[in-house]
Structure 1
């Protein structure tokens, strides 16, 4: 088997051995040419957990870390990203007050930050609902998002944001106030107009233009790994396949691939990506 010439990194992927195909997805990623993943925490309900206190998220975080270790044993380097999905606020307010839900989410982000400090994770995950909510929920969600930026700034790590489609330009001021470098605030499922660091879905039609411009960006599948939603959002092979397709068609050079899949994520997340 020929030696791989360059790394291929998925910036946002989920693995779920309980509701999906688990490590089999990682093997598919590797067989397609994938080498590194940023393994993102799934929502608490994916594990049948109904959190009432921040400590309840420890199970979610620990499962993500354990999965990352399993990925590494399969030859794929996995970097855990821990946090609280912004849609948790909607679930939580079905059984507690909005103030309690906000406090719980911020507390859980503090717990995630502890894992970053001890080296078990590389970044935090936060955001705000990508669907319509009332003003009170929106404001509470922004306070949670801001808390994640404060934690990330204090830890010296990146933060991935799951938020509404669009540029999220208001987050720039929030990040600056929190002392968080904009280049380390990652807009998951990004659009080209974002001032944050864009993580583009692998089939985004703006990728070729961004590569030509030499823009700093990363690529993701946002693979959900759920049997009842196979291939959602894209399959686990998508980042390697699209990367190689862009390369074979001349849209990417080998230098582009090293920049997108190694140099840029190294700068954003403070990790080492090598073959």
Structure 2
């Protein structure tokens, strides 16, 4: 079992890091009291492999908290739990700027008297933990995408390839554009099987309908343009830190053209190395 403890400075991105790890199939717990770490580890170790990767965020804001985390680490060692520590930090101006933008008080601000003093106090208290960390990430100059890349590199290796979970959804414009769509494609200019008596009752999943829609010259050119577009876009979205993306393809009723195009598009996405789920929202309406 992988047991990762995420700690560090307030405002440095501990929760963001946990979100990325959750996308990497870690079981994540936020705001975990340090004293409960051994109990959680014991529980996970006793679940027969159900929790293979665990990451938890714990805050240490006073001297007693620092002592508590090291007592907890002794408890993990006694259990035979192999743990690692990820320490998140950022420089003073960055932390101050983030707190001013969020308009939230620093946890130690009342004790320290000012925001800057609170950041300095917390940094001093956490120095011992930082020196014992297996990984230290400074987020001062990192975007979310850069942070995601850094975490993937450290916890999945340099060869780890990040991908998107893509949903390709067909729909009918007369029923409304899907609210979850990140990209909308309009297929209403393609040949319409609705006006072919032998095809009207079928759907875009039937071979005859799919061929009718996709084999025309304009349809082939349309698909070629889409393939070039998504081949360019998907890696850019991965770089920006997105983990999921929804492409919606619409026609008038969502039964013929959009279904055929969506099925072809889902296969394109898979050939580019990303997972693709095909959803035909309005096909049976």
Instruction: Tell me if both proteins adopt one fold, taking TM over 0.5 as the criterion.
Output: no
TM-score normalised by L of structure 2 = 0.31
- Return the TM-score normalized by structure 1: 0.32
